[in-house]
Amino acid sequence: MPLEAFNTSQPLTFGVELELQLVSLSDFDLTAAAPDLLHLLKRKPFPGNVTPEITESMIEINSSVHSSYGPLLAELVDIRDTLVAAGDQLNVGIAGGGTHPFQHWSEQKISSKPRYEYLSQLYGYLAKQFTVFGQHVHIGCANGDDALYLLHALNRYLPHFIALSASSPFVQGHDSGFDSARLNSVFAFPMSGRAPFVHTWQEFTDVYFAKMERTNIIKSMKDFYWDLRPKPEYGTIELRVCDTPLTVERAAAIAGYLQALCRYLLTRAEEAPAEDDYLVYNYNRFQACRFGLDGSMTHPKTYESLSIRDDILMTLEKMMPHAEALGSVDALNHLALAAREGSDAAQLRRVFEREGSVEGMVNAAIQRFRGDRRMRVR
């Protein structure tokens, strides 16, 4: 069936989705506690929304739609506090982080939801390996053409969001050498990567999507696991490259940065995106995943080599007038400090060096999510 029309939403409104780890407090491994936790949370009103994810050791929370950073942060803190209190009743820890550092995919249990059971049958063990945890940010767009413009204009800045959110250095009990190892699991899916270089919503629906639908490979936009994808039912674009940060404060700040950046890009002050911009896309994405803030990227227009950290700091400063207009200066200041001090991935590695165990690292991440700042180690 034809793709639905792109629903108009208020430009630059935004919302956040966070996939979170459910951890046993006895051994700090993941635990299939989602059914019990969700049952408990149904007993009283929940700020925002909470849903099961592909395996039972994870949940997803969704914020409401917001127009500014302050109310979004306040809601995420309220959600966090509600989850922590419920987890305490079940003796379950709640944590951010893009990967659990020592869980084994073979031990995970697929959630009893028809779509997840279908994905398990289709993708085999990849479905259980998809027990990784990401942050998604939606940005409201006036129309589908603006959505596609933003989608392509943001490709130059995607390494910023990977590096700033990176929190998945350990996999299967070992340091992967990547700051964001989570994205390697996402890249295994056949419909991952980048969206096609299409300029207008009509071309996207009538040509690209129509052709893809005829192949019988996809049935809806949910079948695309792109780094950035349009969400016509919401009237948004959705950023999908971020690891779930260790704190809701970092998650809100990342959303605030994306909102300011989109406001700037919609002024059309930069040269319009071109298909050749994607020549450096995979390299830049790899650098951000592998080395995080210490990586380098190639500018898609000039081919100049840039330090990811320096480019982030320069761009944050450039976005300040837009942050002032949107009320998100504190968000950008938060990220500037993070760029200088190091990512969540760097902090997790420091905790491992101090504690000497992956269990200690998980415990520190649980405390960090609760709002305890003692895991910060210089």
- The pLDDT value recorded for residue 76 is 98
Q: What is the DSSP string of 154-175?
A: GGGGHHHHHHHH--B-EETTEE
How far is it, in rounded angstroms, from Cα 121 to Cα 367?
36
Structure-token pair, residue 344 = 């969540």
Structure-token pair, residue 130 = 């998809």
The letter for the amino acid at 97 is: G
- The pLDDT value recorded for residue 70 is 98
Radius of gyration of the CA atoms of the chain, in A: 20
Neighbours of 202 (CB within 10 A): 12
Neighbours of 251 (CB within 10 A): 26
Greatest alpha-carbon span in the chain: 56
Q: What is the DSSP string of 107-142?
A: G--B-S-HHHHHHHHHHTHHHHHT---EEEEEEE-S
pLDDT exceeds cutoff 80 at 141: yes
pLDDT exceeds cutoff 50 at 232: yes
Domains within the chain, CATH numbers bracketed? 14-375 (3.30.590.20)
- The pLDDT value recorded for residue 191 is 83
Q: Residue 5: which H helix or E strand, with range?
A: none
pLDDT digits (tens, 9 = 90+) for 264-293: 999 999 999 999 999 999 999 999 999 999
Q: Which residues lie across from 24 on neighbouring strands?
A: 92
How far is it, in rounded angstroms, from Cα 287 to Cα 290?
5
**Closest C-alpha among 183, 126, 175 to residue 158:** 183
- The pLDDT value recorded for residue 373 is 57
Segment 148-161 mean pLDDT: 98
- The pLDDT value recorded for residue 378 is 34
